Structure formats: structure tokens, C-alpha cells
Chain A
Amino acid sequence: MLRRALRLRLGQCLSGRGLGTYRGGSTLDCDGKVSKIKKKIQSIFPGRAWSPLYDTSHLPPERSDVVIVGGGVLGLSVAYWLKRLEKQQGAIQVLVVERDHTYARASTVLSVGGIRQQFSLPENVQLSLFSAEFLRNINEYLAVVDDPPLDLQFNPSGYLLLASEEGAAIMERNVKIQRPTHSSRQEGAKVCLMSPEQLQKKFPWINTEGVALASYGLENEGWFDPWCLLQGLRRKLQSMGVLFCQGEVTRFISSSSHMETASGEQVTLKRIHEVHVKMDHSQEFQPVECALVVNAAGAWSGQIAELAGIGTGPPGTMQGTKLPVEPRKRYVYLWHCPQGPGLEAPLVADPSGAYFRREGLGNNYLGSCSPTEEEEPDPGNLEVDYDFFQEKVWPRLAQRVPAFETLKVRSAWAGYYDYNTFDQNGVVGPHPLVINMYFATGFSGHGLQQAPAVGRAVAEMMLEGHFQTINLSPFLFGRFYFGEKAQEHCIL
């Protein structure tokens, strides 16, 4: 009789989307469940080892409304805004799953920490502006009772982007987009354009040869300490009741249903029911039932998307469109130059792609260069290639700042960009077919500086169903299938 009842239930589940009364665990694995129950009953009998109560404190909870895969700054920002925008306090249970509790390979903490509004897309400008306002008032947003205020170590020194003859027209167009216009009611960035003569006068240590135009961000631009932001968010989230779990997401259990669109097309919609979180150094895993999943896994978002079945389908269809985010390794070098630029040095970005900024008061500088497509290093490990500095970074820096001819590299590190190979801009919002997976990833090197605003946008999308403050429709997943690039030109 038990078997007949179970088979009926199984039939009910697969019959379509009549899952309104769906309660309890997933019944899609009925035979497996029966054998589990049998094993449990057998172990109760005397003579067998039976430990009904064992320590599960290291495991995540059995169910959670939202599971955020990835505990970097984007994941934590989404969690923060979800808890902040929820209609009733404690209404939404959020679980953040992070594989690496030391954040040793996380892009957030390995980042140079810059924030700028000098982008070529108006959405990016708005995202950075809000994030700057968030960072400025961070002690109001992230205040926790009894804890000391956060000191982000923000340097308001600005970004100086240099352009050659070819790039000058694009730069002028970008600056027009960045500045506030009379028609739009939105705030704009405070950017000033400088000719080579003005540049030479303002920063005498620059060699202006080959520079046709420079754009200098005057306000809300600079760099800060990303670790402090991360810790501040973590602390605030813990006080808001968000659960943290150290584990790796290995599997999604989902159900599919066949639907027909208004135009008669057949689509298969998928819904994720469980997230399997595997513990470190063991085979133990916990299935977490969830309603919504957020993919904020940074450089590894592509793998998480594959686990959810995104991209497994005939190429050229929406089902076959993969998430085009892959890890790209970037180096950062720290050097000492006693005659280098002084306190006023902004983050200078050369037209050749090399950039540097001041670090501290002791004439130390951080900088690097993004490699071209052919020179891309292998992202398998985070080893630093010092030859890259010698051959590619140093000559360009020395050409731009003659004082850098004599410098001594102190140290270096490498980190990942969650690089969007399609258009180097972020992916936000739900997937059109896996309807309860939301993305907050793919920002290709400018994720940290846009994290607070992106977190708010994704939380609005999850709670309200549409973007309320900043409209990020150009960043939805659908553009990969339709081929509509939202190309960001100013990538460092």
C-alpha cells in the first residue's frame, strides 16, 4: 500500500505545474527515500549502531528562502539589500554559501580597490555614483550596535584616464555621457577634460607625449580598502540574521515543466528546488531547499551556471546559451620609487592599458596592465609572472612617468576577473529559463566598485520583479542569446 501511494504521488509531481500544494521535501527521488527509511528502521534495532542525534552545527540549514552562491562583495551586497528591502523584519531567510572562508582566491580582496564613474555606459555611471554614496555613508548603512565604525581608508584622489589621438573622440563622447544633462534628473559624475598643456601644468611628472586628451574625475573617485568593506558587510549581515555557511555547491536539484509561449513555441522552464552544499574535506553534503538562488560566484559563476543546466542545449537556442563568464588572471605589482609622483597622484591609466596608483606615504605604487587576448595567462593558478612586468608593464609606465625608470618591485599578487567574454559588463537579473536563478556576476574588474548598487538592483528584481531605482535591463541574461552587446569600452 505504501508503494502504491508513493507511485501516485510521483505521478502527480510530473504532471505539470500544479505544484501549488507542494510541501515538504522533493518527492522526485521516491525509491531512494524508501531505501533510506528502510535503512533507518534497520539501524534502530538493537545490535546496530544508532546515533539519532549528531552534531550538525557545521552544516547549513535544511531550508532557506534564498541561497546566495558566493560570499564575496556582490553576494553579500545582494544579501544586505534583500534584508534591508524586505517588507517585514525577518521575513526572508537568506543563506550565503562561500567555499573559501579565508577569501584567499576571492576577487574582492585581491582587487586594487578603485572606484570611478568614468564609464561609457550611463548605467555603469549610475551604479558607481550610488556605490560612492553608499561608501561615503557606510557607517549609516552598516551600523551595528556596540561595534566600532568602519574606516574604509578612502583616498578621494580620482582617476586620470589618458587618451591618444584615436581614443580622444571616444573619450569626449564618454564624458558627455558621464556628466549630468539638463534633461535627466539623475546625478552625474564630475569629470573634467584636460588638454596636454593643462595636464603638464597640473601633473609635471607626466610625460604628455602621445596624449591627446585626459579626463580627470574630481569627486567620488579614488580607491579604498575592499577587505574592510567585506568585513563590514559580513558583520552587518550577521546582525541582520543572515546565515553563513562554508561549503561548496555541487548540485542543483530542479524540476522542469513544458510550457507554451503566446506564439505557440515550446519552452522548457526549470525551477531549482534544492541546492546541495558539500562540506570541506569530506563527502558530507546538505541538501538545502530554497525558493531562489543567486549566482554571485564571481570567477566561477560559469561552473555554477553549468550545474544548473544553463547552456546544455543545442547551440543557437536560449537553452544552449552559456553564461559567458570565465576567470581571467590579472597581476598587481607593488613597487617603490623614491622620485615618483607625490601625494596628489591620482590613479593614472595610460592609453596602452597600463595603470598605477600611489599606495601609502612611502613612495610606493601599485599598478599593472591588462594583457591582450593573446597574452592571457593561464587562470589555473594564482602564480605571479614577473617577466610580464619587465616586458609589458614597466616600459609603458616608464614612458608615461619618466621617474619610473628607476624603480624596485617589492611584491606582487594575482587575482581573478570574473570576465564576461561577451561585452565585459555585468550580468544581473533572472535567467529566462531557469526561472529562480538570479545572476549578479560578470563585472570584469569593476564589480567591487558597483557592488552596493548592483546588490540593490538584484534585490529589487527578486522582491518586486522589476528594477526600481536604476534600470539595468541592458544587463539581463537575454542579451547573450539576442546578441545585443552592452559593450563597456573603459576597462582597466
Chain B
Amino acid sequence: MAAPRASLRLVAPVWNRGTSGIRGLSKAVDPEGSQRKGRTLLQFLTDHFYDVEAVREYLLRKQVLKVQKKNRFRDREWMRANEQGLSSLEFRKLQEVPVEAVDASGCAINYQGLDNLLALKELQSLSLQRCPHVDDWCLGRLYHLADSLQELSLAGCPRISERGLACLHHLQNLRRLDISDLPAVSNPGLTQILVEEMLPHCEVLGADWAQGLKVGPEEQSPDAAGSPIPA
């Protein structure tokens, strides 16, 4: 099987930038982005007037629906950056080629969108870095790729917690796993140890196990802050 290697680079569609303009309407989509000062007036109005509340709820519902509808990929060739998107001729040439690596970093892929990735039966490397909608439910679906997946990166995904990482034990062929910088994981050091125990053949990059430990009051000598021993 001397098929040439190919990988598709997926980029987030343009609407992602548009949502920041609708700030102050829903914390549900963008929890950190709402600014304090501008919102108190809106909140006051919402509390006191039914009409304002109804309008805001309607817009919130539309906003939430938008996230689902516009999750389409725009495939680009790995090497060439093409502004208009992939030309159909090139894509047809590559249709028979098994996809080996997908880099979906920063892409707004969600649970339903993952269907497309899970259909790639020979995927070896998957990068879901900084994907804002990838959460524990999505990780629960990755077992479809258990036979071929060797490298997985989940760094920087805001919704992934240690509960989702527990489903990665299906991926027995995994050799490299990156779980650094996961803000929703409660205890990164302990989670790293547990994940390493769960996947013995895999190299797990992520938090240092000593990250969760604090230097005690007696041990404040300079060499206590030295490099921690990896687990």
C-alpha cells in the first residue's frame, strides 16, 4: 500500500470572530468575554422589564443555535494556504488517499462534527488543540479510532476535564498524548499520573506531577524548588 501521505488542515470558519461582537448577550457561549461595566445596565433592564428579558432570551436561543449550524469545515491543503478554499479538482485527486493526520487546532468542531473525523479509519495523528467546543462527550467517541490512532493532542481545550480523559483507555495504540494546559481539569498532576497508569505504552505530555503540590513551610530550602522527578 504505497499511498502518498496526505493530511488536511482544518481551519475555523470566519464567524468565530463575529461572536465577540454580540458580547453581553450570553455567558453560556463565551463565559470570559463579557465585560462588567456594560452589562450591569442590561442586567438591570432584564430584571425589571419582561420585554427586555424576552428579547434577550430569543437572541440567546438564536445564538446558541448558530453554534450548531455553522460548524462546517473548510479543508485546506497542509502546505498551500489558499484563500478561496480548496479547489475541487485537487480534492478529487485525493479522495482515495487515506487520511493520516488531521490538525483541527482552534477549530470550532463539536460533537456532531466529530462524525467526519471518526470516519477516517486510518487516522494516525489527531490534533484538537484549543478547540473550544470539544468536551468530555466528544472524548467518549474517540474509541472509533482505537485501532490506528497513535498521536493525540488535546492541549488547551477549555471544556475537557479528567472525566473525559478516562475514556481514552480505549486507545491502546496511542503513543503520544498531550494533555497540557487543560483549565477544567481539577488536579493536573494527579490526573497525569492516573492517565499514565491507564495507558502504560503511551508517553503523556502535560502537567508535571509536582504542579499540584505546594512547598511546605519547613521545606523552603532552595533545592526543594528544583526539577521534579517525572513519574
A residues sitting closer than 8 Å to B (CB atoms) are 89, 136, 139-140, 143, 145-149, 153-158, 218-220, 222, 239, 342-344, 358, 361
Contact = CB atoms under 8 A, between A and B. Distances in A.
A220 to B, nearest CB: 8
A335 to B, nearest CB: 18
A344 B141 contact: no
Contacts of A342: 194, 197-198
A344 B198 contact: yes
Contacts of A361: 162, 186-187, 190-191, 194
A143 B64 contact: yes
Nearest to A132: B137
5 contacts: A139-B28, A220-B140, A342-B194, A343-B194, A344-B169
B31 A156 contact: no
A154 B111 CA distance: 15
Interface string B131-143: 0000011011101
B203 interface: no
B202 interface: no
A209 to B, nearest CB: 23
Given A156-B167, A343-B169, 6 more contacts: A148-B31, A153-B163, A156-B164, A239-B57, A343-B198, A361-B191
Contacts of A145: 25-26, 46, 53, 56-57, 60
Interface of B: 25-28, 31, 43, 46, 53-54, 56-57, 60-61, 64-65, 68, 111, 136-137, 139-141, 143, 161-167, 169-170, 186-187, 190-191, 194-195, 197-198
A148 B195 contact: no
Nearest to B68: A140
Given A342-B198, A343-B165, A343-B166, A219 B140 contact: yes
A154 to B, nearest CB: 6
Contacts of A147: 27
A136 to B, nearest CB: 5
Given A145-B26, A145-B46, A344 B57 contact: no
Contacts of A89: 54
A437 to B, nearest CB: 32
A185 to B, nearest CB: 17
A290 B165 CA distance: 49
A158 B143 CA distance: 12
Nearest to A363: B194
A156 B163 contact: yes
Nearest to A221: B140
Nearest to A145: B56
B63 to A, nearest CB: 9
B27 A146 contact: yes
B162 A343 contact: yes
A139 to B, nearest CB: 5
Nearest to A89: B54
A153 B161 CA distance: 9
| Residue with the greatest number of chain A CB neighbours at <10 A, chosen from B26, B167, B197 | B167
B45 to A, nearest CB: 11
A358 B165 CA distance: 14
Contacts of B167: 156-158, 344
Given A156-B163, A218-B143, A361-B162, A149 B195 contact: no
A154 B184 CA distance: 13
A472 B60 CA distance: 33
A343 B60 contact: no
B98 to A, nearest CB: 24
B149 to A, nearest CB: 15
A218 B165 CA distance: 14
Contacts of B60: 143, 145
B169 A136 contact: no
B176 to A, nearest CB: 18
B64 A343 contact: no
Contacts of A153: 161, 163
Contacts of B195: 343
| Residue with the greatest number of chain B CB neighbours at <10 A, chosen from A140, A156, A222 | A156
Given A145-B46, A342-B197, A156 B137 contact: yes
A154 B136 contact: yes
Contacts of B65: 140
Contact of B163 (A146, A149, A154, A239): A154
B152 to A, nearest CB: 16
Contacts of B161: 153
Nearest to B53: A145
Contacts of A219: 140-141, 143
Contact of B111 (A136, A157, A344): A136
Contacts of B197: 342-343
B17 to A, nearest CB: 21
Nearest to A148: B27
Contacts of B31: 148-149
A149 B194 contact: no
B90 to A, nearest CB: 35
| Residue with the greatest number of chain B CB neighbours at <10 A, chosen from A140, A218, A239, A344 | A344
A157 B141 CA distance: 11
B137 A146 contact: no
Top 3 closest A-B pairs, CB basis? Answer: A156-B140, A344-B169, A155-B163
A220 B143 CA distance: 13
A160 to B, nearest CB: 12
B33 to A, nearest CB: 13
Contacts of A146: 27, 43, 46, 56
A136 B137 contact: yes
Contacts of A143: 26, 28, 60-61, 64
A143 B61 CA distance: 8
A158 B167 CA distance: 9
